[in-house]
Amino acid sequence: MIAETGLIALWLAAALALLQFALGAIGLRADRQEYFKAIRPVAVAQGLFVAFSFLLLIWLFLRSDMSVRLVVMNSASVKPFIYKFAGTWGNHEGSMLLWVTVMGLAGAFIALFERSLKTRTLVATLAAQAFISLGFYAFLLVSSNPFERMFPIPAEGQGLNPLLQDPGLAFHPPTLYFGYVGLSVAFSFAVGAMITRDVGADFAKAMRPWVLGAWIFLTLGITAGSYWAYYELGWGGWWFWDPVENASLMPWLAATALLHSVTVLATRDSLRAWTLMLAVVAFSMSMIGTFLVRSGILTSVHAFAVDPERGSFILALLALYIGGAMALFALRVGTVKEGKHFELVSREGALVANNLLLSVILALVFIGTLYPLLVEALTGDKLSVGPPYFNLATGPLALMLVAAMAAGPLLRWRRDNPKTLLNRISIPILITAAALFSLVLFTTGMSVLALLGLALAAGVAVASFAPLWKRNLRRTPLHTYGMVIAHFGIAVALVGMACESSFTEENLVAAKPGDEISINKWKLKFDAIEPMAGPNWTALESRITAQYGDGTIHEIAPQNRMFAAAQTQTSEAALLTRWNGQLYVVLGDGDSQGRWQIRVWWKPFVPLIWFGGILVALGGFLAMIGRLRRGYKQRKQREYAEATI
Amino acid sequence: MNRWLLWLPLVLFGIFFAAVATGLIMPKDNIIESKMVGKPMPAFALPAAVEQRPAVSSTDLAQGKPTLLNIFASWCVPCIAEAPQLLALQKAGVEINAIASRDTPEDIANFLNRWGNPYVRIGTDTTSKVQLELGSSGVPETFVIDGNGIIVHQHIGDIREEDIPKLLKLLEDAK
Amino acid sequence: MKRFLVLLIACLAFPVSAQTGLPPAPYANRQLDDPQQEAAARELMEELRCLKCQSQSIADSNAPMAGDMRSQVRERIAAGETPEQVRSWLVERYGNWVSYNPPIASAVTWPLWFAPIILLLAALWLARGRFRKPKDDE
């Protein structure tokens, strides 16, 4: 009965979404106040029903109800609790239901708490949100019903791929979905504003928390995904510009640009059309990313989850939403004024530079990712576009972006004096120059890009704190602290990236137990190799004693794991983190003479890459709290003022 | 801002949509074809893989008569599947030379005893060196070579029964 | 995002049955003695695509064929070939697919390399109308 109840709840939610859309569309056309009043409760009800449906699916997974096909295909009764739970969204149908659930709840949240937006714009936004949800409901109910029963009922499920059973992985997908949904809300706001032609500071302020929230989740998702690839793949690479990685990067780039342009719109009521376009592009990128990943159009040799039918469905939704929004943009934005002008040397000027550079980088990632597809469609030639292209094409632009990031927060709105800017930024420039000079003198073999990146990061790390200079730190708003920390995080990550690419040392050896391996200041002693058994794997574990130059001793144990059920073999790298870097040890195959392949890397300062990513997200979080608190206070004051008149 | 410029995003999206939709409709293969087809066989000389058959070198493949060069391995399952077809080709009078990829003499001998031996010569390529020379990316693969040692055709994957007439025709044309 | 995971896993975890019994080619996992040559080989290996797993460089792959390719690259570099010679040797056999670095001088791929400049100019042109000259006040 639970599965049927879930399905009914899903149908009801879909019907409510249809009603929500109809109320909005008809209400706006006929300008009927009673329709406007009705749309809020409908949105709340839709959110509740879809959430109820998702909870029931979780319940089915936790109970290991083997009469439901989805549970059979993706779970097993002996699995640990946490993976049963995470198994709910570790598959196509469940993840789509999660997506539409978060979307429904976001709609309910807007309906309940959004008070500053004009009624008509709010109604249009809710209608747009319902329209997007309808596509996902159709997708679920027509072709991917998560509650489908199965006869005869099997005794046991097929289980989740054992390799996917990693605590980090269990929560990686929802993090990205939250980000995507946040961008879909921003998209709905943009569509709503285009319909009512009401694009201004209020609209920007209503949209901003959603963009910020989405951006925080995307930042965390990418950071976690990159670290996972780094430790799990066993080759020490943290970013390979793989199409699937790019699919997660593109929405982040667009969201970052949007976050900055929405600030210009909220503060100075400028960049209206541009902000609308970015909101549309940001959501497009999350849909396109999902499409690229699900359809397998770019990497279909690993044809596990590839399903052309699903791909076509997502592509159809994509065409409907994105094509529709872009047509609306072309029709409506001509009548939207672009807003106030400003001088080149001004806070707005720096933010425009930020937006242009981010957009160009985004376009390059997009083109580079899809170019092989385009060429194959046109000429039949197969080609690869990878790290050499992306690094060279986007690297210099990224450095310009970081430089703009250092200067921007030090500029005044509307206009500023170039000379005073130079004054304010003289110390960071000196630091960058000094760093560049000493790097050229004391290091060898650094690429130009890494050299400039490291020098710039030194200056920017200092410059990012300059907005706090000579300010009353207790009265500085929280969102300023957020910006400072996020910008500092970028500099920190840049240090990690430059150091990783320039100073990594590698040692590949075939060693017998008893042999010594040295790398940088480390001396590793290969003590022994022993078999081990885990719940669903067997492994060979090597015991290695690692001694650093200062005498500290650590025990590490990289493994070579065999998963019997899946017939797969993985390397479990051993990572040793010090303040100045990470030692990365992998056990490879053995040979007939009793030697083992051991790969050792010393990667100076590499953890800074992900530490920087976490700082960036933390900065976003502080900004979010600061903005929400300020918005709440302002509303209270306004209500108080209105009440006393 | 120019009015036409506002339509630009939609136009760009249209291009994206067209490219992706074609990509979705077109059957996607992930076969990397060798660019050596139409070029002379690169020079190589591989030692004999088993005692029963002599070694193979590129000069053996340019003796005035079209030949097949089959790349196989004892650890490769599709190679077992295509073994009967290779025997049929041998019966039809085709000279088949072979390269055993990443394999040991014992395993190759066992494989041939069990699944038949259609080969005239077998060389052993323990480090994929010749395979890389040929632009081959896996096993099994079969190259059609004309009498002058020019590579005429590359067959990727196992040879099925229905492929035989085509291969025979290619060999005939290469005369 | 499940595909993201599956894809990565597919690349790192080969079906055990497809492994061959033979040890890898001599220089598959052995560095060259000359650090400069090794650095050059390493850089090239990161830009060559693994034939078997399709979405990894040969430097990051466990596939036996990738090991054999690494060995070839190191041996050729040790024998005095430049990385570009080794790259074009492979491109001659497998096409541009094998290299992650698309050529600039190619009818098909030159637009890729000019895209950054073209896009940057287009972006500046788009932004030009936004700015007010410093002198004229509001």
Taking CB atoms and an 8 Å cut-off, how many pairs form between chains B and C?
Answer: 70
Q: Does the pLDDT value for residue A128 go beyond 60?
A: yes
pLDDT of residue A21: 95
Q: Does the pLDDT value for residue A129 go beyond 90?
A: yes
Confidence label for B28 from pLDDT (cuts 50, 70 and 90)? low
Q: Does the pLDDT value for residue A643 go beyond 70?
A: yes
Query: Are the beta carbons of A315 and B13 separated by less than 8 Å?
Result: no
Q: What percent of chain A has pLDDT over 70?
A: 96
Residues of B in contact with C69 (CB under 8 A): 128, 132
What gap in Å lies between CA A258 and CA A269, rounded to an integer? 14
pLDDT of residue A299: 56
Q: What rounded mean pLDDT belongs to chain A?
A: 89
What gap in Å lies between CA A31 and CA C115, rounded to an integer? 47
pLDDT of residue A471: 83
Residues of C in contact with B33 (CB under 8 A): 95
Between β-strands B67-72 and B96-101, what pairing exists: parallel, antiparallel or unpaired? parallel
Confidence label for A74 from pLDDT (cuts 50, 70 and 90)? confident
Q: What is the mean pLDDT of residues C54-75?
A: 88
Three-state secondary-structure class, residue A140: helix
Confidence label for A516 from pLDDT (cuts 50, 70 and 90)? very high
Helix (H) or strand (E) holding A7: helix A2-30
Both tokens of residue C95? Answer: 């096409």
Residues of A in contact with C1 (CB under 8 A): 95, 172-173, 176-177, 225, 248, 293
Tokens 């790097």 belong to residue:
A439
- CA-CA distances (angstroms) from residue A640 to A192, A634, A643, A644? 29, 10, 5, 6
Confidence label for C132 from pLDDT (cuts 50, 70 and 90)? low
* Cα–Cα nearest to A363, from B10, C1, B1, C112: C112
A343 pairs with which residues across the strands?
C132
- CA-CA distances (angstroms) from residue A79 to A54, A160, A417? 20, 9, 64
Q: Would residue A157 be called left, alpha or beta, if left means φ above 0 and alpha means ψ between -120 and 50 degrees?
A: beta
pLDDT of residue B116: 92
pLDDT of residue A191: 93
Instruction: Classify domain B45-173 by CATH number.
Output: 3.40.30.10
Highest mean pLDDT among A60-69, A250-259, A329-338, A463-472: A250-259
pLDDT of residue C110: 93
The distance of B86 to chain C (nearest Cα, Å) reads: 22
pLDDT of residue A633: 87
Q: Does the pLDDT value for residue C15 go beyond 90?
A: no
Three-state secondary-structure class, residue A424: helix
Query: Are the beta carbons of C31 and A415 separated by less than 8 Å?
Result: no
Cβ-count burial A183-212 (b if 16+ within 10 Å, e if not): bbbbbbbbbbbbbbebbbbbbbbbbbbbbb
Residues of C in contact with B135 (CB under 8 A): 92-94
Confidence label for C24 from pLDDT (cuts 50, 70 and 90)? confident
The distance of C68 to chain B (nearest Cα, Å) reads: 6
pLDDT of residue C7: 42
Torsion of CA A414, A418, A423, A428, to 10 degrees: 90
pLDDT of residue A463: 93
Confidence label for A617 from pLDDT (cuts 50, 70 and 90)? very high
Give the chains touching B; criterion: ≥3 Cβ pairs < 8 Å: A, C
pLDDT of residue C20: 56
Burial of residue C30 (number of CB atoms within 10 Å: 0-12, 13-18, 19+): middle
pLDDT in tens, B74-112: 988 899 999 999 999 999 999 999 999 999 999 999 999
Centroid of chain to Cα A51: 23
Asked if residue A152 has a cis previous peptide bond (ω within 30° of 0), the answer is yes
pLDDT of residue A85: 84
Cβ-proximal residues to A29 (8 Å cutoff; 6+ apart), any chain:
none
Dihedral over Cα of C3, C4, C7, C13: its sign: negative
Confidence label for C137 from pLDDT (cuts 50, 70 and 90)? very low
pLDDT in tens, A304-344: 455 677 888 889 999 999 999 999 999 988 777 777 778 88
pLDDT in tens, A388-436: 999 999 999 999 999 999 999 988 888 888 888 888 888 999 999 999 9
Helix (H) or strand (E) holding B26: none
Query: Are the beta carbons of C97 and B32 separated by less than 8 Å?
Result: yes
Confidence label for A219 from pLDDT (cuts 50, 70 and 90)? very high
What gap in Å lies between CA C20 and CA C26, rounded to an integer? 15
Q: What rounded mean pLDDT belongs to chain B?
A: 90
pLDDT of residue A569: 73
Confidence label for C54 from pLDDT (cuts 50, 70 and 90)? low
pLDDT in tens, B107-157: 999 999 999 999 999 999 998 999 999 999 888 999 999 999 999 999 999
pLDDT of residue C2: 40
Domain ranges of chain B: 45-173
Q: What is the DSSP letter of A142?
A: I
The distance of C16 to chain A (nearest Cα, Å) reads: 6
pLDDT in tens, C99-126: 999 999 888 899 999 999 999 999 998 8
Of B30, B107, B132, the CB nearest to C93: B132
pLDDT of residue B134: 94
Looking at this protein, which amino acid is placed at residue A420? T
pLDDT of residue C3: 41
The distance of C78 to chain A (nearest Cα, Å) reads: 17
- The angle formed by the CA atoms of residues C73, C74 and C80, to the nearest 5 degrees, is 95
Give the chains touching A; criterion: ≥3 Cβ pairs < 8 Å: B, C
A residues 125-144 lying closer than 8 A (beta carbon) to C: none
Q: What are phi and psi of A518, to 5 degrees?
A: -125, 145
Q: Is C107 on the interface with A (CB under 8 A)?
A: no
Judge contact between B119 and B100, C-beta under 8 A. Answer: no
SS3 of A205-236: the string is: HHHHHHHHHHHHHHHHHHHHHHHHHHHHHCCC
Q: Is A307 on the interface with C (CB under 8 A)?
A: no
Judge contact between B100 and B74, C-beta under 8 A. Answer: yes
What gap in Å lies between CA A445 and CA B61, rounded to an integer? 47
Torsion of CA A207, A209, A212, A216, to 10 degrees: -140
Q: What percent of chain C has pLDDT over 90?
A: 53
Q: Identify the structural domains of chain C with CATH numbers, from first to last.
A: 23-102 (1.10.8.640)
Q: Which fold has domain A1-170?
A: Four Helix Bundle (Hemerythrin (Met), subunit A) (1.20.120)
Q: Is C4 on the interface with A (CB under 8 A)?
A: yes
Confidence label for B27 from pLDDT (cuts 50, 70 and 90)? low
Contacts 24+ apart (CB under 8 A), C15-21: C15/A567, C15/A568, C16/A562, C16/A567, C16/A568, C16/A569, C17/A567, C17/B75, C17/B77, C18/B75, C19/B75, C19/C64, C20/B73, C20/B75, C20/B101, C20/B102, C20/B103, C20/C64, C21/B75, C21/B103, C21/B104, C21/B107
Which region among A222-226, A327-331, A414-418, A608-612 has the lowest average model confidence (pLDDT)?
A414-418
Task: Quote the ipTM score.
Answer: 0.90
